[in-house]
Structure 1
Amino acid sequence: MKKLVIYTIVSLLFFSCKEEPKRTDYIINGTAKDIYNGVRVHLNETDEKGRDKVVETQMVVNEQFTFEGKMDTPTLYHITVNSVPGKLPIMVENSAIHVDINKAKISDSKITGSKSQNIYETYQNGLKDIEKEIGRLNSEMRRARSQRDMAKQAELKTQIEAVKDKQTQYTVAYINDHNEDIFSLYLIQEALKDPNMDVEKYRAAFNNLDASLKSSKDSAEIKLRLDNLYNTQMKTANLEVGKVAPNFKAPTANDKMVSLNDLMGKVTIIDFWAAWCGPCRRENPNVVKVYNEFHDQGLEIIGVSLDGSRGQKDPKKAWLDAVEKDQLKWTQVSYLKYFNDPVAQLYNIKSIPATYILDKDGTIVAKNLRGNALKQKVEELLKN
């Protein structure tokens, strides 16, 4: 009998000390003090374009609400409550999470039960001063724009870029210091939403992650996106102001192959346009005026048409009709392959009209100038 009692006690101790199984779903239990029955509470996510999307909606009943679901990886959502201004960021992971909504100020609500939430709040606390500075500079920028103060805008742009660089340095340092934490992977994923992200720094931070993190399915997708973005940026790095414009060959309407290097003048404009492009056609009279005024002084223009869209029955006819109607007297080339045109892809053209302005050595000195700005730049270059 004594042995049985001892066995029973040992068994109870064993089972009471056994680690609870890891949850495979999340439950968010919310308390909503002083919020009426029937008021809707929303759990939202933000897509890559910054748009909010409702994941789940529940109603408050007796000052309580609950959300349930499953997460592959911890993800930043936010909670909104009808009639309560603002939104509450919450890191959702597969665990039991409690939210105590502060009706007076939702950002002061308390969240417990999410390890990722604690990490997120620690990270955000380190960002507070940087985000305040960005907010202040953005307010000044809006004021400068309303006053059309171009000098102030240029000054503020430089300051904003410097503070954003500080933000990137802070985030990358945080990732490197927490390279075993899945939240670091989340930060890289969030950074990918910014088309101007410093891909080299984030790519290096990703490569520094612990092997256990890099072996997941999400990591493989993030790595692919980082690599693709890196390759794109390396390609466009050769198209920045100060770089020599890449040479190309393309066919004229008579199927004669001509090259950029053969056509360059003292100043050269590469003009990407199309017959179907309304803004291009509206800008053409300005380009014609610049060409007529400065061609005898050494200006050359090469028009690269992106005609060939599916909506054109006869792309070549549309192209040539537009050339004649708009009186475009300079060299025109086109593969008639729409945005798949090899020259457009070489120059990473995503929208038109687009222009590259080159000096006598073929160096890119400006991009996408129109109207009077284009005229002034050509005139300046021809004087030098």
Structure 2
Amino acid sequence: MKKLFFTVLCALPLLTNAQSPAKPTIQVKGTIKNVKDTIDIVYATYAANGKRVTDSSLVAKGVYSFKLSLKEATRVQFTAKNTANKKAKFAQKNTAAVFLEPGIITVASVDSFSNVSVKGSKSHIEFEKLNLASKPYESKLEVLYKKYSEYSKNKEKAAMDRVEASIDSLDEIQRENVYGSYIKKNPSSPIALYSLKTFAGYEIIVEKVEPLFNLLPARLKSSPAGVEFKEKITTAKLTGIGREALDFTQNDTLGVPVKLSSLRGKYLLIDFWASWCGPCRRENPNVVKVFNEFKDQGFHIIGVSLDQPNAKEKWLKAIHDDKLTWTQVSDLQFWNNEVAKLYGIQAIPQNLLLDPNGKIIAKNLRGEALGKKLEAIFSKENAKKDEKPKGK
């Protein structure tokens, strides 16, 4: 659950509900007072039917409203903008995260749009408790992120590694002390599942996440969001270290089907990426270096791209520009890529390392970690080859 790793991914938003009824069940009455910025529209972004949805409301005399069709407690991100100032950059002060539930809810912003008070939502009260408990950790993490950024600019690798270790350690403590602890104490809370998803992040560690999921009451487990999350746990079990990689077939750049199992016999990296993903493109030089170093020793890569429909040229150009000379496949279906869905991929870049028999032996090896892992593997392989046969 490395915090730094997941802050530099292109990620599918973590959804907090998966189904909505036909008629509006939530009425939001919003007011804006004493805010310096001119605001003429407010956007509400949330999840419905497992998809990200964005609604909008015009602001008139400091008032806006929404009617949403949601029957589960749902985290909604409100964003305020001035449509006349198209060059204005995104500002954190112009966003507010609110937990809504069926009923009439008032959201009042005073002095700053993000400074909200909410009435009518018990879920939001619990959400504020989580935010308050997280604040000390987030403050410390923010300082560490700034240090990491400074060291990164100066290319101080040793210092970067030290800070990354501190970030990972603090993140683990935060997850356990804030989100894990909240679930254990409040398994019936309307935001228990949200807390569990935050605890789990984009890579579900089954042995940590499943026991907490089992604490939830039947009504939450059987809710649309609960059923969806249970499916993710099941997928994580099937794609964990030690399991045989799930077989798949997808077309390469020439439209020729490539079957994963046809590549057995070598150590194989399944690399999930996309041409539009900045972190993926920045990681590609590392992968190229490792591939060129070990390709003649029994190492290969199959890249699975989450490029978008009608973006084949962009995919091909990225392959050429980044000098990715290994096998590349994609169905050009963005986050609906069949292989990504099969493996439960919710953020990229991500990868899985397979042994010659197709068994998963490592996951998410980035930067120098991939090279070190392969160096250790092939050192052992070469040592075995150099051993002289023993006499009878």
TM-score by length of 1: 0.58
Which residue in 2 is equivalent to 1:301?
A: 297
Is this contact kept in 2: 1:37–1:61, CA < 8 A? no
1:96 Cα deviation after fit: 0.7
Aligned residue among 151, 155, 159 for 1:152: 159
Change beyond 3 A, Cα 1:208–1:350: closer
Is this contact kept in 2: 1:25–1:95, CA < 8 A? yes
> Is 1:96 aligned to residue 109 of structure 2?
no
Whole-Å separation in 2 of the counterparts to 1:82 and 1:285: 46
Q: Which has the higher helix share?
A: 1
Whole-Å separation in 2 of the counterparts to 1:132 and 1:216: 34
Partner secondary structure for residue 32 of structure 1 = strand
1:99-178 map, 5 Å? 99-102=107-110, 104-170=111-177, 171-178=179-186
Q: Which structure ranks higher in relative contact order (CA pairs < 8 Å, sequence separation ≥ 6)?
A: 2
> Is 1:346 aligned to residue 359 of structure 2?
yes
Which residue in 2 is equivalent to 1:235?
A: 242
Change beyond 3 A, Cα 1:75–1:344: farther
Whole-Å separation in 2 of the counterparts to 1:64 and 1:273: 50
Q: Which amino acid aligns with 1:202?
A: V
Q: Which amino acid aligns with 1:56?
A: D
> Is 1:32 aligned to residue 32 of structure 2?
yes
Q: Which amino acid aligns with 2:108?
A: D
Is this contact kept in 1: 2:175–2:199, CA < 8 A? no
Whole-Å separation in 2 of the counterparts to 1:159 and 1:349: 21
Whole-Å separation in 2 of the counterparts to 1:38 and 1:282: 47
1:220 Cα deviation after fit: 1.7
Which residue in 2 is equivalent to 1:76?
A: 75
1:171-219 per-residue CA deviation (whole Å, 9 max, x = no partner) reads: 1111011011221012223445x33454422211001112232232321
Whole-Å separation in 2 of the counterparts to 1:159 and 1:201: 21
Change beyond 3 A, Cα 1:72–1:46: closer
Is this contact kept in 2: 1:80–1:87, CA < 8 A? yes
1:106 Cα deviation after fit: 2.4
Whole-Å separation in 2 of the counterparts to 1:160 and 1:40: 37
Which residue in 1 is equivalent to 2:209?
A: 202
Is this contact kept in 2: 1:273–1:304, CA < 8 A? no
Partner secondary structure for residue 180 of structure 1 = coil
Q: Which amino acid aligns with 2:194?
A: Y
Show structure 1 runs of 5+ residues with no match: 1-22, 239-249, 253-257, 261-269, 292-299, 310-333, 365-384
Change beyond 3 A, Cα 1:78–1:363: farther
Whole-Å separation in 1 of the counterparts to 2:78 and 2:244: 40
Is this contact kept in 1: 2:40–2:81, CA < 8 A? yes
Partner secondary structure for residue 79 of structure 1 = strand
Partner secondary structure for residue 191 of structure 2 = helix
Partner secondary structure for residue 65 of structure 2 = strand
Whole-Å separation in 2 of the counterparts to 1:33 and 1:130: 31
TM-score by length of 2: 0.57
Aligned residue among 79, 87, 95 for 2:95: 87
Change beyond 3 A, Cα 1:279–1:236: farther
Is this contact kept in 1: 2:180–2:199, CA < 8 A? no
Is this contact kept in 1: 2:205–2:236, CA < 8 A? no
1:267-296 per-residue CA deviation (whole Å, 9 max, x = no partner) reads: xxx57699xxx9799759953xx89xxxxx
1:234 Cα deviation after fit: 3.3
Whole-Å separation in 1 of the counterparts to 2:382 and 2:219: 47
1:350 Cα deviation after fit: 9.1
Q: Which amino acid aligns with 2:230?
A: K
Q: Which amino acid aligns with 1:90?
A: V
Which residue in 2 is equivalent to 1:18?
A: none
Whole-Å separation in 2 of the counterparts to 1:32 and 1:251: 60
Whole-Å separation in 2 of the counterparts to 1:153 and 1:279: 19
Whole-Å separation in 2 of the counterparts to 1:78 and 1:360: 50
1:198-347 map, 5 Å? 198-235=205-242, 270=267, 283=289, 287=293, 301-304=297-300, 306=302, 343=356, 345-347=358-360
Partner secondary structure for residue 138 of structure 1 = helix
Q: Which amino acid aligns with 1:301?
A: Q
Whole-Å separation in 2 of the counterparts to 1:303 and 1:59: 56
1:346 Cα deviation after fit: 3.1
Which residue in 1 is equivalent to 2:57?
A: 58
Partner secondary structure for residue 101 of structure 1 = strand
Partner secondary structure for residue 96 of structure 2 = strand
1:139 Cα deviation after fit: 0.8
Question: RMSD value over aligned CA atoms?
Answer: 4.6
Which residue in 2 is equivalent to 1:42?
A: 43
1:222 Cα deviation after fit: 0.8
Is this contact kept in 2: 1:31–1:99, CA < 8 A? yes
Larger Cα Rg: Structure 1 or Structure 2? 1
Whole-Å separation in 2 of the counterparts to 1:280 and 1:144: 19
Is this contact kept in 2: 1:40–1:82, CA < 8 A? yes
Whole-Å separation in 2 of the counterparts to 1:189 and 1:74: 14
> How many residue pairs align between the two structures?
273
Is this contact kept in 1: 2:244–2:358, CA < 8 A? no
Show structure 2 runs of 5+ residues with no match: 1-22, 83-90, 246-260, 272-283, 306-325, 331-338, 340-353, 384-392
